[in-house]
Structure 1
Amino acid sequence: MNTPTNSAAAAMTAWEDLVSTALVGTDRRPLPDPPGTAGRTAAARTGGPAAASHVAGHAADPATELLERAAVRTVRARAGQRLRAGEALEAAPAEDRPAVSRAAADRLARILGGERPRLLAEWLETAAGRGHRLAPHLLPELLDHAARDRSIRPHLGVLAGHRGRWLAGLNPAWSFLLEEATAAGPSPEVWELGTSGDRRVHLSTLRAADPAAARELLAATWEQESPGDRAAFLELLAERLSPGDEPFLEAALDDRRREVRHQAADLLTRLPGSRLARRMAERVSRRFAVADGKIHVDPPFECDAEMERDGVRAKPPHGTGERSWWLQQLVARTPLGVWSDLLGRPPGELVRMEVVDWGREVMAGWVRAAVLQGDPVWARELFDWDPLADLLAVLPREEQGAVAARFVRSHGLDGQLIMVLGGAAAPWGPELSKAVLQKIVELSGTQPWNLGELSRLAGERVDPALYGLAERLSPEPPVQEVAALLRFRDDMLKELR
């Protein structure tokens, strides 16, 4: 008689045999005999096809037989678990916020089911912003989705409600939810006892109202915070950044965590009068000069400890030279106001001057500096030189639409156009919306196969209330697809009000 241990080993071996056969295919590897049928199978083989067809458990098609056996073994494995003693679960806490409407829940189910899936983030953000919670039956699927997609997790902290957190406590795969912000309002208790998400919301709210108090609150618990929380909290100090923050940020340059050090360096770079800014200005002053109407550069030959402390990473990415990498970072971390004084030219002239030997690195550094420091003057000049979505996003919102609209009208349909439009804040204003819709109309007759991404982007970024304008603009299918997407979004937002 087989012992339980031997039975388990035999079952595992039989399962491994099935898996091996499935991997190579039943046409290349014979289907293994079911346990206990080896003698009968051998006898059947000697009796020819008629006898073989009567062997118990064998289907006419070996592949079908393999799948059937796998299904049976799966059911046996799941059903054969031994009973364990346990305790009854506590009921989920009662909810204190209203659920979304039935129509809104049904639309979310359709989105999760594959209809307009790119609108999921907009649905979640809108619902969370209005203080709703999800219908309970949607929680498991959405939590599974968030386990794979981190970008939607912050919205779920509010939308999942008490039941969602109760479920997250039962399933380790959903435990991320326990760190996201809830709908709890700012309070001293939240800072002491709240989740990481609640504490971020508390600090952000306090920073907007009283920047110094927020910084002092963070400084008081700084040493006790986890490295991940320190980096996340430090990022919030970008709101209402001032010279009063410099001593705290300067001390953070010596933090053990690299992400914290670089976040501190990024913030100090945005303070033109900071000690870090002055150190960077002194470094580039020794390495840049203008002669014969050209910019001459002498990149550093080493990245010393002081440069690393100020946010310059020593190890370059694969395929980038060390001097090239260090130069880009020096330029990116130097206050943009330094360059006109150092080189004697306004930004518009500097970005058009020839840079001897190191032009690519200097321009890349200036682009990074314009984005990091949020400088619209430099962003405007650099966008004319190299249209990038990040540069467009630096411009004031009302200017973004005008600049993007001009680019749409003068540029062909390619990947760069799509990238630039991705930098324009949504919803697009009338000028940009009309420019994009007109571009779709123009290309409908010549490149209809190439309009898919542009049509989807327009449907997601144009004000959904303009669906009627799109419907009347042209009967061409790409335009009507934009109109249909806009109508879908308009209905979706109305259901969430």
Structure 2
Amino acid sequence: MSGWEELASTALVGTDRRPYQGDLLEVAAVEVARRRAGRRVAEVTGREPVPEEERQAVGRPAGERLGRMLAGEHERLIPEWLAAAAATGRRVPPYVLPDLLEHGRRDRSIRVHLGVLAGHRGRWLAGLNPAWGFLLEEPTGETWELGGPADRLAHLRALRAADPAEARRLLESTWEREGPDDRAEFVQVLKDGLGMEDESFLEQALDDRRREVRQAAANLLTRLPDSRLAQRMAERLRACVTVKGDIIAIEAPPACDKAMERDGVRAKPPRGAGERAWWLQQIIARAPLSVWGLPPARLLAMKIPDWDDEVKAAWVRAAVLQKNPEWARAMFGWDPIADLLDSLPPAEQQELAAGFVRKHDLDSQLIMVLGGVSSHWREGLATAVLHKIVKVATTQPWNLGELVKLAGEHIDPALFPLAESYSPVESIQQVAALLRFRADMYKELSR
């Protein structure tokens, strides 16, 4: 029996049954080190060298800042750094690639720009380490014909932004050959520049084999009030609703037929919801809001004897699905959720959020509303948030952590002098320090 086999056998049965002269664990540790030191180095053959990079790397100060962020300094700003770097058309320097790819392995949210930012060396490294293989699925800048799924999606998005009709024609030309996962991704691209010219293609997509494709197509057709789907939903709504004086009478649908399911109504309700209430809410959400014939503020003041909460929750969903600014404003007053802000231009988002911050105590809802406001926050919202921080710092300083982080991450970094001079309160100075960090970050990336 060899030395290692003897050690292993003794460890398995125990030294009480098989006495061992000397310290078993110490000898085993020495043997492990000896065996590792004696292992032959694997020979590397046939490996292609790293192709020459086409993109210039960001400057050393910018790369070093990214390295510190990957090590834990303001780690939540990594996606912002990556987006800003991608906008410059440059790549990350080689010395941060291992840490960046390892971070991308754990955090899917940062992968969107990595295919380009990592350059040829990043993809070369990903080919050596299966844990980093995700990078090989990210866009690299290849064309529609030659690229992988991520490249083709990026190409379609860019074409849609430049020429919506041509993007749709390109998608139609290859639609039957696309895999189900790709179709589900591609149909979402049509939300940018959406118009009635897309209606025929989306109507056909309602018959797709993949549920995600059908649902995405129904959501887009809901945003087109003149679409055939919207008109079918309008007819269903009229069968459910009667408006007389100041009363809205509701009769929820008795069943969900196949035609309703084709138009995006899901038959099975979520746990805790009744079937009829669930079908009613989906019909209201997908029917054109103009069918109600009255402004939302007037409707909200009316009495709904039955299904009141369900109808108003459906109005919220309709405002979100149909991207209707008037309804989004009105429903935000009834139920201030972040999704409603997405239907409004950034300046109005900030104005509504600032008013909400002034009137509302610091709680999870306030944090969620602020999380839905587009960056970068300008002076009005910034001042409202800074004032809230100062106020809460005197009563509940332990409750400020997330609000301070949000302020530092979303206020326009050019406003760091405003924060520095606003108050000597420690939490305000933390916001100012984070804003300065971001201002320096953008300055480095611009060089």
Q: Same fold (TM over 0.5)?
A: yes
Distance 1:212-1:33 versus aligned 2 partners, 3 A rule: same
1:187 match: none
Specify whether residues 84 and 399 from structure 1 end up closer, same or farther in structure 2 by C-alpha distance, changes over 3 A only.
closer
The verdict on how the C-alpha distance between 1:303 and 1:490 changes in structure 2, with shifts beyond 3 A counting, is same
| Counterpart contact for 1:40–1:55, Cα < 8 Å | no
> SS of 1:308's equivalent?
helix
The 8 Å contact of residues 207 and 237 in structure 1, kept in 2 or not, is answered as yes
Distance 1:476 1:275, change over 3 A: same
Equivalences for 1:111-260 in 2 at 5 Å? 111-184=69-142, 190-260=143-213
Contact 2:284 2:311 (C-alpha < 8 Å) held by counterparts: yes
Q: Which stretch of structure 1 is more off in the superposition, 259-268 or 448-457?
A: 448-457
Match of 1:33 in 2: 14
CA change 1:432–1:83 in 2 (3 A) is: closer
1:55 to 6, 14, 22: 22
- Match in the other structure for 1:416: 365
Alignment of 1:82-121 (within 5 A): 87-121=45-79
What SS does structure 1 have at the residue aligned with 2:249? strand
Whether the 8 Å CA contact 1:131–1:183 is kept in 2: the answer is: no
> What are the superposed Cα offsets for residues 23-49 of structure 1, whole Å, 9 maximum, x if unpaired?
xxxxxxxxx737xx95335xxxxxxxx
Residue 283 to residue 115, structure 1, CA distance change in 2 (3 Å): same
Aligned counterparts, 1:287-366, within 5 A = 287-291=240-244, 293-340=246-293, 345-366=294-315
Change (3 A) 1:193 1:424: same
Distance 1:12 1:81, change over 3 A: farther
Pairwise CA RMSD of aligned residues?
2.6
Instruction: Quote the offset at 1:137 in angstroms.
Output: 2.2
Matches of 1:33 and 1:73 in 2, distance apart? 18
Q: CA distance change for structure 1 residues 449 and 72 in 2, over 3 Å: closer, same or farther?
A: farther
Q: Tell whether the 8 Å contact from 1:459 to 1:483 is kept in structure 2 after alignment.
A: yes
Q: Aligned equivalents of 1:467 and 1:309: distance in 2?
A: 52
Deviation at 1:270, TM superposition (A): 0.8
Query: How far off its partner does 1:117 sit?
Result: 1.0
* Deviation of the 1:313 alpha carbon: 1.4
- The Cα of 1:358 is off from its aligned counterpart by 1.3
Whichever residue aligns with residue 65 of structure 2, its letter is R
Q: Give the 3-state SS of the residue equivalent to 2:342 in structure 1.
A: helix
Compute the displacement of 1:163 (Å). Answer: 0.9
| 2:337 maps to 1:406 | no
Match of 1:44 in 2: none
Q: Using the alignment, how far apart are the partners of 1:292 and 1:311 within structure 2?
A: 32
Question: Which piece of structure 1 moves more, 443-452 or 269-278?
Answer: 443-452
Question: Deviation at 1:352?
Answer: 3.0
Q: Which amino acid aligns with 1:430?
A: E
Distance of 1:13 and 1:260 partners within structure 2: 61
Partner AA of 1:379 in structure 2:
A
Say if 1:331 and 1:362, in contact at 8 Å, map to a contact too: yes
Aligned residues: 446
Task: Choose from 372, 384, 387 the match for 1:438.
Answer: 387
For residue 171 of structure 1, report the CA deviation from its aligned partner.
2.4
**Residue pair 1:206, 1:213 contacting (<8 A) in 2 also:** yes
1 CA distance for matches of 2:44 and 2:386? 62
**Offset of 1:198 from its aligned partner?**
2.0
Contact preservation (8 Å) 2:242, 2:248: yes
Query: Is residue 379–residue 415 contact of structure 2 (8 Å, CA) maintained in 1?
Result: no
Give the CA deviation at 1:273. Answer: 0.7
Q: Displacement of 1:116 after TM fit?
A: 0.8
Query: CA, structure 1 residues 80+11, in 2 after alignment: closer, same or farther (shift >3 Å)?
Result: farther
CA distance, structure 1, for counterparts of residue 42 and residue 254 of structure 2: 67
Deviation at 1:75, TM superposition (A): 5.9
Sequence identity percentage: 58
Higher-Rg structure is 1
Structure 1 residues 368 and 492: CA distance shift in structure 2, 3 A:
same
Question: What CA distance in whole angstroms lies between the structure 2 residues aligned with 1:228 and 1:251?
Answer: 17
Distance 1:278 1:409 in 2: 41
1:461 is matched with which residue? 410
Q: Is the 8 A contact 1:427 1:461 kept in 2?
A: yes
d(CA) in 2 for partners of 1:77 and 1:364? 67
Paired AA for residue 156 in structure 2: L
- For 2:84 and 2:321, the matched residues in 1 are separated by 28
Question: What's the offset of the Cα at 1:434?
Answer: 0.9
**1:477-496 aligned within 5 A:** 477-496=426-445
Which residues of 2 match residues 388-399 of structure 1 at below 5 A?
A: 388-399=337-348
Task: Give how far 1:77 is off.
Answer: 8.4
Using the TM superposition, give the Cα deviation of residue 476 of structure 1 relative to its aligned residue in structure 2, in angstroms. Answer: 0.8
Change (3 A) 1:483 1:274: same
- CA 457–368 in structure 1, closer or farther in 2 if over 3 Å, else same: same
Whether contact under 8 Å (2:138, 2:150) holds in the other structure is yes
How many Å separate the matches in 2 of 1:140 and 1:72? 32
TM-score by length of 1: 0.84
CA distance in 1, matches of 2:204, 2:30: 63
2:287 maps to amino acid = T
| SS of residue matched to 2:144 | helix
- Answer with 453-462 or 284-293: which moved more: 284-293
- The equivalent residue for 1:283 is 236
3-state SS, counterpart of residue 222 of structure 1: helix
| TM-score of the pair, normalised by structure 2 | 0.93
Q: 1:13 to 1:127 in 2, by over 3 A?
A: farther
Q: Aligned letter for 2:51?
A: P
3-state DSSP class of the match of 2:242?
strand
Q: Distance in 2 between matches of 1:422 and 1:253?
A: 33
Counterpart of 2:226 in structure 1 is 273
